[in-house]
Amino acid sequence: MILSFHPIYVGDQNRLCAGREPDADDLAAVKRAQAVILPQGCSQSLYEMARQNCEHVFPNYDLRFKYPGKVGQIELFEAYHVAHPATKVIETSTEMNVGALDLAAIGYPLVCKRDWGGEGFTVFWIEDQTALETTLLMISSESAGPEKVLLQKAVPENRGRVMRVVCTGKFFKAYWRMASDPDEKIVHLEEGGRVDDHQLDPHLLLLAENSARQFCTATGINLVGIDFLFDFSTPEPRPLIIELNYFFGRRGLGGSSAYYAVLTREIRDWCRRRV
């Protein structure tokens, strides 16, 4: 019996757990199931219930919850020896002495990231120490207490592009997310940014897709959007992983209908291989 908690995928039995904690009836259904299909935004409590009581669970979110947030992702990249920009994790404080931070491996300009948020809205391009002090003070003023922040080596020559590779089961799709101005350093899709429909630099699309496949094979992650940067100042730019997105937009995949068609197909294929 295939049990689905996903509102789109129809299993032999279907339940919804949105907006509530899983209960005893959910647990009983999970224990009867041969496989459990979870929604993309499932809670940690529902995921752990499924993993502890059923052998086959889709998607595989083991590392999402083991390495939470952007800080956790850096720990994940380091644990699996994945090429990524040099990063230092700090904790904000109104008394912080920015000048005393050891940024030798990062330097200026750098990228400052809060531990949460997406689509570039909690990512800041920092040119110098003054800008970093101003940004960290702003973050401290908005936080109820100390907040972990990432300081990451910048890739200035990125042509205003970020490569997104979406993994859905065994299906991979790579595309560029582009700033409205190629001189912009941070891509914000909701502020004039766009998805490239012309498949610029197809050899780099293939390179990032292969890197994503290797990463997902090594980690077992099978539903995620992976962001890469390329440094175009080098003769042969290589993909540098910068972020994982367990929630991602569907514009670059052809819209929600196209995405759900792929997702449904991949879940069916996953079920055939396991049940």
User: What is 46-84 written as a DSSP string?
Assistant: HHHHHHHH-SEEES--HHHHHS-HHHHHHHHHHHTT---
16, part of any domain: yes
**262 and 171: one domain?**
yes
Q: What is the pLDDT of residue 199?
A: 81
At which of 58, 74, 98 does a domain end?
58
**Same-domain check for residues 227 and 258:** yes
pLDDT at 190: 52
Q: Do residues 149 and 223 both lie within one domain? A: no
> In terms of domains, do 113 and 147 share one?
yes
For 94-110, the pLDDT digits (tens) are: 777 888 899 999 999 99
Does the residue 201 lie in any domain? Answer: yes
168 neighbors 260 (Cβ within 8 angstroms): no
169 shares its domain with 243: yes
The 3-state DSSP composition of the chain as helix, strand, coil percent (nearest 5) reads: 35, 25, 45
Q: Which of 231, 110, 219 is nearest to 163 (CA)?
A: 231
Residues contacting 165, CB < 8 A, separation 6+: 172, 173, 174, 208, 209, 211, 212, 225, 226, 228
Say if residue 229 is in the same domain as residue 260. yes
Provide the domain limits for residue 42: 2-58
pLDDT per residue as tens, the chain (275 positions): 999 999 999 999 999 999 999 999 999 999 999 999 999 999 999 999 999 999 999 999 999 999 999 999 999 999 999 999 999 999 988 777 888 899 999 999 999 999 977 655 688 999 999 999 999 999 988 877 888 999 999 998 888 899 999 999 999 999 999 887 776 667 665 555 688 877 889 999 999 999 999 999 999 999 999 999 999 999 999 999 999 999 998 999 999 999 999 999 999 999 999 98
Does some domain include residue 65?
Answer: no
**Does 110 fall in a domain?**
yes
- Alpha carbon distance 171, 59 (integer Å): 13
- Whether 238 and 208 share a structural domain: yes
Domain count, the chain: 3
CB distance 224 to 216 below 8 Å: yes
pLDDT value at position 61? 98
The verdict on residue 139 lying in a domain is yes
